[in-house]
Amino acid sequence: MRIVFMGTPEFAVAPLQCLLRDRHEIVAVYTQPDREAGRGRALASPPVKTAAERAGIPVFQPDRLRSTEEIDRLAAFKPEVIVVAAYGQILREAVLNLPPQGCLNIHPSLLPLYRGVSPVPAAILHGDEFSGVSIMKLDKGVDTGPVLGQLKVKVADWDNTGTMTEKLAVLGGQMLVDLLPRWTAGKIIPRFQDGTRASYTVKLEKKDGEIDWRKPAIEIWRQVRACQPWPGAVTRLLGKQLKIIEAVPLAGATTVPGKVVALQTKPGLGIETSSGILGLVQIQLEGKRVMNGEEFLRGQRQMIGSEVTG
């Protein structure tokens, strides 16, 4: 098929590569402009731009795909379908109506659950046993269009937002190449979403990673996983930031939420909560390298009995 692909972050790379392996004709890739990143604030290209340039595909990065000039340029590619994966812009009706087969969006949730920008961390925060990916035909709403296909995948105890997003990206790409020929042949009946079951997500902010130790260990464990790799789950220990990268909820009596305790078994180090202990599997104290709980304990035994703060 003759396809224009729109996507920006790492999540969109796997679907693009799946389309290329399936020998579709990707006539153009649209992605967000380069942004400043890192400590040096140097301009960095979106992952999709890098992947497209390696494949020799023309890349376009308009600030807003809204002007008549930009839409005319897009129309000149004469795409049969536009595939969207975390592009980062809401498409105008003129774009939605442009390709004869519509604009198909890959969304990492089991719609109508978790519409919006943060579906993967939302599923982890809610303790869902399953997540999944949906392919829908875009309409004027935010993730409200009819669903063409959906696949479910189990959320493992060790999954975080990074690993889960990677799984769903690959799954979405595989589903897309299977679905496209059936969609264009008229063999798929779109399923309209039940708006009464819809839930919405918002963009994570840095403050979402700040831990409140008055919560139960299982809730903080989900927060750690949902905030990995960004914004990171953090607390403060003796005036320094302590980043918790990987953790495990453990049963056990507690006395003071936020108290650092030594454990008799792995991971060796934990912090008391309002209910249970959060075992610290991988952590990073400000100015130090990433360590496991036992390593940290060997060099910082004086921390036992200290209290962390949110």
DSSP symbols for 171-189: HHHHHHHHHHHHHHTT---
pLDDT at 80: 98
Tell me the one-letter amino acid at 130.
F
CA angle 4, 11, 221 (to 5 degrees): 160
Answer whether residue 299 shows pLDDT above 90: no
- Helix or strand or coil: residue 240? strand
Q: Report, as an integer, the average pLDDT of 11-31.
A: 98
Q: What percent of the chain has pLDDT over 70?
A: 100
Q: Which candidate, 241, 240, 246, places its Cα nearest to that of 226?
A: 246
Each residue of 221-235: pLDDT tens digit? 999 999 999 999 999
Whole-model pTM: value is 0.95
Query: What are the tens digits of pLDDT across the range 194-212?
Result: 999 999 999 999 999 999 9
Whole-angstrom Cα Rg for the chain: 22
pLDDT score of 255: 92
Summarize the confidence of residues 8-36 as an average pLDDT.
Answer: 97
Single out the residue of 46, 167, 39 nearest to residue 108, CA to CA.
167
The percent of residues above 90 in pLDDT, for the chain, comes to: 94
- Do 151 and 168 contact (CB within 8 A), yes or no? no
Q: Which tens digits make up the pLDDT trace of 137-163?
A: 999 999 999 999 999 999 999 999 999
Q: What is the CATH number of domain 206-309?
A: 3.10.25.10
* Tens digits of residue pLDDT in 29-82: 999 999 988 777 789 999 999 999 999 999 999 999 999 999 999 999 999 999
Q: Evaluate whether 2-201 and 206-309 have a shared fold.
A: no
Question: So what's the pLDDT on residue 40?
Answer: 75
> Domain spans of the chain?
2-201, 206-309
Query: What's the pLDDT at 75?
Result: 98
- Banded model confidence at residue 105, pLDDT cuts 50, 70, 90: very high
pLDDT class for 254, splitting at 50, 70, 90?
very high
pLDDT higher than 80, residue 245: yes
pLDDT of residue 149: 98
pLDDT of residue 214: 97
Q: CA distances (Å), 169 to each of 16, 61, 121, 136, 271, in order? A: 10, 22, 14, 15, 34
Mean pLDDT score, 289-293 = 96
Which residue do the tokens 């496209």 mark? 180
Q: Does domain 2-201 have CATH number 3.40.50.170?
A: yes
Q: Which pLDDT value is given to residue 112?
A: 98
Q: What is the pLDDT of residue 28?
A: 98
pLDDT bucket at 289, cuts 50 / 70 / 90:
very high
Position 278 confidence tier, pLDDT thresholds 50, 70, 90 = very high
